[in-house]
Structure 1
Amino acid sequence: MELREGEDYYLEGGFLVFTAAYHRKRGYCCGSGCRHCPYPKAVQAEAMRLRQEGRPIRSRAEFEARFGQV
């Protein structure tokens, strides 16, 4: 997926910050606590727990199998 500055991300203090639009295009919550994550807090918490256990969600298919279409 090609990233577009201003639409998918912006730069802040030398860091690349993904937008909510990018997260929706990607199609899943990675559990990293992203600033603009558009997914419900309960989904974010579960994705973060899985990540901390060493079992991060790595694809849209895996995300939808666990949470359905959010």
Structure 2
Amino acid sequence: MNDKNREIEELHRSACESGKDSYVDPATGYTVFTEYFHLKRGHCCGSGCRHCPWKKNSQKNPKEPTDRT
């Protein structure tokens, strides 16, 4: 894992632990939804979000989140 990915993972972890729906990507300035937000929303939008907890191969019609253990 490179430094950029470590920074993103730390921002994501911190945001989820704080119950935040999003964080700002340091490279682009874009708002990125957290896994916490996606789970709270309860379904996948099919857009390929960075922290989507649903299976990537079923994003067009997801049934349940991926196993995060």
Q: TM-score of the superposition, structure 2-length normalised?
A: 0.55
Letter in 2 for 1:23: H
Q: SS of the residue aligned with 1:24?
A: helix
Determine which structure has greater relative contact order: mean sequence separation of CA pairs < 8 Å that are 6+ residues apart, divided by chain length.
Answer: 1
Partner Cα distance (1:36, 1:26) in 2: 13
Runs of 4+ deviating beyond 6 Å: none
1:16-35 alignment runs, 5 A limit: 16-35=31-50
Q: Percent identity of the aligned residues?
A: 50
Residue aligning to 1:8: 21
Q: Could you report, residue by residue, the CA deviation over 1:17-68 in whole angstroms, capped at 9, with x for unpaired residues?
A: 0011100000110010100000012321xx1xx7xxxxxxxxxxxx6xxx3x
What is the CA RMSD across the aligned residues, in angstroms? Answer: 1.8
Which residue of the other structure, out of 41, 45, 49, is the alignment partner of 2:56? 41
Residue aligning to 1:54: none
- Structure 2, unaligned stretches of length 5 or more? 1-14, 65-69
Residue aligning to 2:67: none
Residue aligning to 2:8: none
